Homo-oligomer: A and B are copies of this chain.
Amino acid sequence: MTAPKPGTTVRGSQTGRPIMAVLDLLGRRWSLRILWELHMSGPSSFRDLQRLCGDISPTVLNTRLAELREAGIIELREKGGYAITGLGLELGAVILQLGDWAERWAGSMEVGGPGEKTGLATKGRNGKKTSRRDS
């Protein structure tokens, strides 16, 4: 009920071009990560996914899952929980390539990335209880 759809107006675009809806959907926080984890671990329960994503809050997780489901990329099965659909598998192949690219990227960063700066990462409201695992 909130997922962008081809043929409609989405964030930053009114032409209805499919790619724009995809970019909007996948550009939302946690979308890519959820898809990645589902691809790596196979069908997972809500709570499993939550843990796989480093104890993401159930609120966003549920929102993203609903969107992804509405887009037909994943589905909720009677048994096994959330799983990638046939359509989603094709998308997954693309996402997997991100993994390969990430490795090359990491390599080139080491030697002498453009930055060389310290590169902080995430802040996190407080240093209290960041997750223990992340798959």
Contacts and interface: CB of A to CB of B under 8 A. Distances in A.
A122 interface: yes
14 contacts: A1-B117, A1-B120, A3-B115, A12-B53, A12-B131, A13-B54, A14-B131, A22-B101, A23-B36, A24-B121, A27-B28, A27-B32, A28-B29, A87-B104
A49 to B, nearest CB: 11
| Chain A interface, DSSP helix/strand/loop, else mixed | loop
A19 B99 contact: yes
Contacts of A83: none
Copies in the complex: 2
Interface in A1-18: 1-15, 17-18
Interface of A: 1-15, 17-24, 26-33, 36, 53-56, 69-72, 75, 85, 87, 90-91, 94, 97-99, 101-106, 108-109, 113-115, 117-122, 130-131, 134-135
A13 B130 CA distance: 9
